[in-house]
Amino acid sequence: MKILFCFLLITYCIPYTCFSQATDHTIHVKVLPHKEDLLLNKGWKFQVGDNPEWANPAFNDQHWQTIDPTLDIVNSLPQLPKSGIAWFRLHLSLDPAVREQQLALLIQQSGASEVYLNGHLIHRFGTVSANPDEVEAYDPMWQPVLAPFTDEARQVLAIRYALEPNLSYTTMFESTNPALRIGINNLNTAIEKHERYFGRLLIFWTFMVGASTLLIFLHTAFYVFYPQQKANLSFALFSFFFLAQNIIRIWTFINGHDIASRFSLYNTCFSLLLVADLFLLIAIYQLSNQKRDILFYVLLVMVGVSIFFIIPQYGWGWIAGGALMEVLIKLNILRVALRSAKRGKRVARIIAWGAVVCLVFFVFFLSLGVFTHEFLIGVTPFRSVLYVISVLSIPIATSIYLGLDFAFINSTLNRKLLEVEELSEKTVAQEKEKQQILASQNETLERQVEERTAALKESLEELSTTQNQLIQKEKMASLGELTAGIAHEIQNPLNFVNNFSGVSEELCAELKEELKAGNTTEALPLLDDLQQNLHKIHHHGHRAESVVKGMLQHSRSATGEKQLTDINALADEFLRLSYHGLRAKDKSFNASLVTDFDAQLEKIEVVPQELGRVLLNLFNNAFYATQQKKIRLKGQFKPEVKLSTRQQDGKVEIKVRDNGSGIPAGIRSKIFQPFFTTKPAGQGTGLGLSLSYDIITKGHGGDLLVDTKEDDFTEFTICLPVKH
C-alpha cells in the first residue's frame, strides 16, 4: 500500500518538475518524461478571429485571454466559437538538453487545425476555412508528428483552429471532447507510447472479437444440433451483437480520425452493447424455463428510450442510458438466476455467481474511470482485465452451467441405460418363454385357420354360385318380361291374319257358288273383298316380321361391342315392350305413356342390348310403382309414365319419370346396393338397379341419377357421354 501511495505521489509531482511557468507566461521546459508525454495545458493565449500575422512569433499577444484548451468544448469552453476561426498561442522556453533531442508533438483535438511553429506551418489536421461549410474536423488521435524546434531559447507555437459547425458531439464512457490537447516528448518515446497504447487496445479488442466469434460458432452449432434449446440461439445472437460492436470499436480506434462519423459510431457501439445484453437476458430466461415478466418488458422499453433519446445526450447520456442500463440488465439476470435456484433448478447458482462477478467487476471498472477522468485511449491493462471479466463472467458461468447440466443428463442416461439393459435381459428371458408358448399356440391356430379357411372357401363358392344364379334369375326375369312384350307385339298381327284368313275362306266359298251359277256380276265384288283381305293379311304379316327382325338384330348385338344407336328408337321400343309385357300379365292394367324425344338427338355408341336391359328395368319399376299406387288408392288414380331425351353439354340424357309412390328418404342411399329390394319376397331379386348402375357407370362411363319425392314422383336420369 505504501509503495502504491509513493507511486501515485511521484506521478502527481512529475508534471510540475518537467516544466515551470515564467512570469511573462512563457512555459519553461527543463526535462522530458521517460514514458509519458509532457502535456501542455498552461500558458496558452486565445483570440477569436483570423489574422495571418498571429502566426508570427514577434506578434504581441499580451492582451489575449488566457485559456486551457484541454478542457471540454461543450461544458468548459463557452468562449470558443461554434462557427468561425480562433487562434491559440503558446510561448515555450526549452533547455539546451531538450533542444538537442528530436522532438514530437502528440495531438488530440475536436476540430480542425493548422499548426505553426515559429511562424512556419508544420502540420495541417482537417480543413480550416473562413467558410463554415468547408470546415472538416480531424483528430490525429495522439499520432506523433515531428516538431522542428530551432536552437533558439524561446519558441512560439501558434494554432489556427475551427470547430465543424452542426456537428453533434457526444461522449463515450469517461471520455471528453477537448478543444486541443498537445503533448511534447522525444520522438522515439512518443512513438513508443503510441504503439504501446494502440497495440494494447488492438490486442484487447482482437481478443474480444475472437471470444465473440467462438461463442457465435459454439452456440450456433449447439442450436443446429439441438434446436429445442432456444437459449443457444439467444446466446448466439448476444455474441453476434457483441462481436459487431467490438469490430466497430476496432475500426474506430484504427480509422477514427473523422470526428463526425466517430461520434455516430460511438453511439452505435453502445446501442449494440445494450441489444446484446437483452439477448443475454432472454437466454437466461429461456435457460431457467421462466416466462418473461413485466420487469423484462420495462427494461426493453428503457433500452429503446436509452438508445434513441438518452445515450446521445452529452456528458451524462452514457452514464444514465448506457452504464446504468447495463447494470440494471445484469441485476435482472441475477434476479432470474436466484429465482431459478430457489425453484430447485440444477446448478442455477453458477449463473447467479457469474452475474455477481459481472456486476462487481463492471462497477469497479466504471468507478476507476469516473474518479480518475482517464481518457479512453489510456485505459490501463488492469481496467482492461476488469472489463473482460465483467463481460465474460456470465457467458462463462452459463457455459459451465450447460456443461454440468449435460454431465448430469449424461449420468442420468447412463443410469437409465443400465436399468434398460437389466430389463432387457429379463425381457429376453420372458420373450423366449413366450415364444415357446406362442409356437405351440401358433400350431393350433394354423390348424384352426386351415380348417376355417377351407370352410370359408366352400362358403364363398356357394355364395358365388348363389350370386350367379340370382343374376341369371334377374336376367331370365327380364327376358320373360321382354318375351311377354314380344309375344303381345306378335299376337296382335297374328289375330288379324287369322281373322282375315277366316273371312277370306268364306269369300272363296261364296265366289265358287257364284261362278258355278255363272253370275259374274256378283263375283267381282267378292274378288275385291278377297283382294282387300289379302292385302291386310300381308300388312300384318310384315308387322310381325319387323318385330322378329328387331329382336334378331338385338340378339346379334349381344356381343358386348358398342355401335352407333338411335337412342330415341331404342327407348321407345323398350317402353312399348315393357308396357305390353305387363299388360299380358294383367289385362286390367293401363297407364298413360308420354314421350318427349329430342328430334336433334344424334346417334351415340352404346351396347344396345345392355342399355335396353337398363331401360326395361327402369320402365318395369315405373309401371310397378304406378300399379301399386293405383291399388293402394283403390282405382282413384291415373298412372302415367313419361319418357324424354335431351342432348346438352356433350351428354345425352334419358329421363324416365313416373307418378307413383316415390322412394322414402330412409332408403334412397340403398337402392343401388346389390340384393336390396322393396318388393315382396319372390317378386324381386334386388339386382335390377345394381346391375343397371354398373352397366351405365362402368360399361358406358356415364351416370345414373335419381330424383324423387315421396308419394309424388320418381325420376331416373341416364347420362351418357357423346363421343365424336
* CATH code where residue 139 lies: 2.60.120.260
pLDDT confidence of residue 56: 95
Q: Are residues 256 and 349 in the same domain?
A: yes
Give me the domain span that covers residue 650: 560-721
In a domain, 650, yes or no: yes
What CATH number is given to the structural domain containing 642?
3.30.565.10
pLDDT confidence of residue 561: 79
Helix (H) or strand (E) holding 127: none
Out of 379, 412, 436, a domain closes at 379
In a domain, 75, yes or no: yes
In a domain, 470, yes or no: no
> Cell digits for 325?
442500463
Out of 343, 364, 379, a domain closes at 379
Q: Are residues 161 and 107 in the same domain?
A: yes
In a domain, 8, yes or no: no
CB atoms under 10 Å from CB of 549, counted, come to: 11
The DSSP call for residue 101 is S
Considering only the C-alpha atoms of the chain, give the largest distance between any 2 of them, rounded to a whole number of Å. 193
pLDDT confidence of residue 22: 44
Q: Are residues 38 and 123 in the same domain?
A: yes
**Residues 6+ away with beta carbon under 8 Å from 544:** 489, 490, 493, 494, 497
Q: Are 682 and 630 in contact (CB under 8 A)?
A: no
Which pairs from 333-341 meet CB under 8 Å and 24+ separation?
Answer: 333/280, 333/281, 333/284, 333/358, 333/394, 334/359, 335/295, 336/281, 336/284, 336/285, 336/288, 336/290, 337/284, 337/288, 339/288, 339/290, 340/288, 340/289, 340/290
In a domain, 591, yes or no: yes
Q: Are 182 and 107 in contact (CB under 8 A)?
A: yes
pLDDT confidence of residue 15: 41
In a domain, 511, yes or no: no
In a domain, 478, yes or no: no
Q: Are residues 42 and 181 in the same domain?
A: yes
Q: Are residues 104 and 231 in the same domain?
A: no
Q: Are residues 173 and 240 in the same domain?
A: no
Half-sphere exposure of 653 (CA within 13 A, CB side): 14
Helix (H) or strand (E) holding 26: strand 26-29
Which pairs from 475-484 meet CB under 8 Å and 24+ separation?
Answer: 475/613, 477/685, 478/613, 478/616, 478/617, 478/688, 481/578, 481/581, 481/582, 481/616, 481/620, 482/577, 482/581, 482/616, 483/581, 484/580, 484/581, 484/582, 484/584, 484/585
pLDDT confidence of residue 470: 59
pLDDT confidence of residue 2: 39
pLDDT confidence of residue 557: 43
Task: Quote the distance between the C-alpha of residue 325 and its chain's center.
Answer: 35
pLDDT confidence of residue 495: 63
pLDDT along the chain (724 residues), means of 10: 37 42 72 86 95 94 94 92 94 90 93 96 95 93 90 91 89 80 91 83 87 90 85 92 90 81 84 93 90 93 90 83 88 90 77 90 79 50 85 85 74 86 84 82 81 79 65 55 57 64 70 74 70 68 60 49 86 84 78 89 87 87 87 86 90 92 84 74 67 86 90 91 79
Dihedral class, residue 100 (left if φ above 0, else alpha if ψ from -120 to 50, else beta): alpha
Closest CA to 31 of 93, 92, 98: 98
Out of 321, 355, 379, a domain closes at 379
In a domain, 434, yes or no: no
For the chain, how many structural domains are there in total? 3
Q: Are residues 165 and 118 in the same domain?
A: yes
Q: Are residues 174 and 298 in the same domain?
A: no
pLDDT confidence of residue 201: 80
Q: Are 161 and 112 in contact (CB under 8 A)?
A: yes
Q: Are residues 79 and 143 in the same domain?
A: yes
Q: Are 608 and 574 in contact (CB under 8 A)?
A: no
Q: Are residues 241 and 140 in the same domain?
A: no
Q: Are residues 163 and 251 in the same domain?
A: no
pTM for the full model? 0.54
Q: How far apart are the first and last CA of the chain?
A: 112
Q: Are residues 128 and 254 in the same domain?
A: no
Q: Are 46 and 67 in contact (CB under 8 A)?
A: yes
